[in-house]
Structure 1
Amino acid sequence: MRTTITIADEVFAEMERLRERDGLGPSEALNLLARRGMARRATPRVDYVHRSDDVGIRVDVTDIGAVLDLLDDPAADA
């Protein structure tokens, strides 16, 4: 397929680097870069998993206002 596209300067620079290094034509270099980008995107995403550890602190969080007051209390730092 033939079309006209606008290529960002940094993409064009990478295309030229590939062309010089590997002796590729412009279409081959651009296709190689596009395929590399698609391959990266195709890697599975690792979902976030929250990890928690018991540090021995016991705070009743049913009253969030009291928890915030406790955290703001300078005497609690001692």
Structure 2
Amino acid sequence: MRTTVRLDDDVQAAVERLQREQHISLSEAINKLVRSGLERTPQRRPFTQRTHNIGLRVDVSNVAEALELLDDMER
């Protein structure tokens, strides 16, 4: 398959460097770089829930109880 692509300068430099080092064609260099990127799994930081004190005087960990309490306060 023949496809025209526009490479950013840094990507083009990496392709040319790989071509020189391994004496391979443009297509082979691009395919190798793409495959190496596909094989990598991104490093994800573990999720941590951040909490902040917002000054509530009502426990809102149980939403149903909090709503019931607020309804009682309105009456």
* 1:64 corresponds to: 55
TM-score under structure 1 length normalisation: 0.55
Q: C-alpha separation between the residues in 2 aligned to 1:47 and 1:4?
A: 36
Displacement after TM superposition at 1:64 (Å): 2.0
Pick aligned residue for 2:46 from 45, 48, 60: 48
Residue type at the aligned position of 1:32: K
TM-score under structure 2 length normalisation: 0.57
The RMSD of aligned alpha carbons is 2.8
Q: Which runs of 5+ in 1 are unaligned?
A: 51-60, 67-78
Q: How many residues align?
A: 54
Q: Which runs of 5+ in 2 are unaligned?
A: 58-75
State the percentage of identical aligned residues.
38
The verdict on how the C-alpha distance between 1:48 and 1:9 changes in structure 2, with shifts beyond 3 A counting, is same
* 2:24 corresponds to: 24
